[in-house]
């Protein structure tokens, strides 16, 4: 008999059909949040999503395509969210405070939640040593607190890249939840060496980078995916409370022809009954308020 496979030790296996029941705010069963990524990339070096073939540095085509999100696309998404009165979880590189501070401030003014997302998406967190990673987490938390007025409670690693001790370091530097893991449709309590931390579901299917940039899905089809995903989860949530996240980037979803189809999908969600349109931080507050033992 072979030994068991290596395990992360953060949480046990749990079938979603065999868990205690609870409801979201107001007795609602489906929580929906928008995760808007505001990202900045170094010019001529480091990592970055690509529109076309990657050229030798400085790769102006791909850099300027990503920058469109900060100059145009994210502002259009802000207008859309405002028109539908939908809050957002703003997943922000702290370099945005140097590069486009008025953009971050516009979301902060409307009360959106600020979520840590590294300093820049040009670097990958999982390649760092423990001391360097700890310093990054602490720096980002303090910078967001200084600039936007409230220290972030949540974190999404650039490129969803973790080291073996990332959850431990998050808990040790004051974060209360991570968006890195896409393993469930409900929040999960993680074990760390500094006590528990929450995993709030973050989508890798309902996410414009993998679906549009990598799988080259048409904007109409992506909007249909959002609607179908929402309708199915709305139906499933009659049996158990669920979380649906939608991950967006200004340089992808903020392109005009995609924005038109995204508007249709978000209007469908915004007009649905008995749905809690919220933020990851509010989901955290709710699960932490539940009676002990509700979530193992």
- Relative orientation angle of helices 101-109 and 74-84, to the nearest 10 degrees: 10
**Is residue 257 within a helix (H) or strand (E), and if so which, with residue range?**
helix 256-270
Entry pTM: 0.97
Assigned token pair, 77: 């998404």
Q: What is the C-alpha separation between 65 and 59, in angstroms, rounded?
A: 10
CA 222, 116, 87 angle in degrees (round to 5)? 55
Boundaries of every domain in the chain: 22-43+55-289
- Note the maximum CA span of the chain: 60
- Cβ contact 201:245 at 8 Å: yes
| DSSP state at residue 178 | E
pLDDT string in tens for the chain (296-residue length): 999 999 999 999 999 999 999 999 999 999 999 999 999 999 999 999 998 888 999 999 999 999 999 999 999 999 999 999 999 999 999 999 999 999 999 999 999 999 999 999 999 999 999 999 999 999 999 999 999 999 999 999 999 999 999 999 999 999 999 999 999 999 999 999 999 999 999 999 999 999 998 899 999 999 999 999 999 999 999 999 999 999 999 999 999 999 999 999 999 999 999 999 999 999 999 999 999 889 87
CA 242, 244, 250 angle in degrees (round to 5)? 165
Name the one residue in this structure whose structure tokens are 């649905």.
Answer: 272
Q: What is the C-alpha separation between 176 and 195, in angstroms, rounded?
A: 10
Assigned token pair, 62: 């791909």
CA 28, 30, 32 angle in degrees (round to 5)? 120
How close are the terminal C-alpha atoms of the chain, in Å? Answer: 30
Q: What is the C-alpha separation between 47 and 45, in angstroms, rounded?
A: 7
* Predicted pLDDT of residue 270: 98
Half-sphere exposure of 113 (CA within 13 A, CB side): 22
Q: What is the C-alpha separation between 289 and 132, in angstroms, rounded?
A: 34
Assigned token pair, 41: 């990339």
Minimal CA–CA distance to 80: which of 226, 258, 240? Answer: 258
Question: Exposed, middle or buried: residue 147 (CB in 10 Å: 0-12, 13-18, 19+)?
Answer: middle
CA 39, 213, 205 angle in degrees (round to 5)? 90
Q: What is the C-alpha separation between 128 and 145, in angstroms, rounded?
A: 23
CATH 3.30.720.110 for domain 22-43+55-289: no
């Amino acid at each position: 008999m072979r030994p068991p496979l290596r395990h992360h030790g953060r949480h046990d296996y749990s079938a979603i059909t065999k868990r205690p029941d609870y409801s979201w705010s107001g007795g609602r069963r489906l929580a929906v949040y928008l995760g808007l990524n505001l990202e900045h990339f170094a010019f001529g070096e480091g990592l970055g999503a690509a529109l076309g073939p990657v050229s030798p540095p400085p790769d102006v085509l791909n850099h300027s395509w990503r920058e469109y999100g900060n100059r145009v696309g994210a502002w259009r998404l802000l207008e859309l969210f405002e028109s539908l009165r939908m809050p957002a979880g703003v997943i922000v590189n702290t370099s945005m405070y140097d590069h486009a501070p008025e953009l971050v401030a516009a979301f902060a003014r409307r009360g959106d939640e600020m979520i840590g997302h590294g300093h820049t998406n040009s670097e990958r967190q999982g390649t760092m040593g423990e001391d360097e990673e700890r310093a990054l987490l602490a720096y980002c938390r303090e910078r967001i607190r200084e600039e936007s007025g409230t220290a972030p409670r949540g974190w999404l690693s650039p490129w969803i890249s973790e080291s073996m001790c990332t959850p431990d370091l998050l808990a040790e530097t004051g974060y209360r939840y991570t968006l890195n893991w896409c393993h469930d449709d409900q929040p999960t309590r993680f074990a760390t060496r500094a006590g528990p931390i929450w995993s709030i579901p973050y989508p890798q299917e309902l996410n414009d980078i993998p679906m549009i940039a990598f799988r080259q899905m048409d904007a109409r089809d992506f909007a249909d995916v959002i609607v179908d995903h929402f309708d199915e989860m709305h139906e499933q949530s009659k049996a158990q409370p669920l979380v649906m996240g939608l991950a967006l980037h200004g340089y992808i979803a903020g392109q005009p022809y995609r924005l038109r189809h995204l508007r249709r999908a978000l209007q469908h969600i915004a007009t649905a009954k008995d749905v809690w349109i919220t933020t990851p931080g509010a989901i955290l507050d709710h699960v932490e308020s539940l009676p002990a033992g509700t979530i193992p």
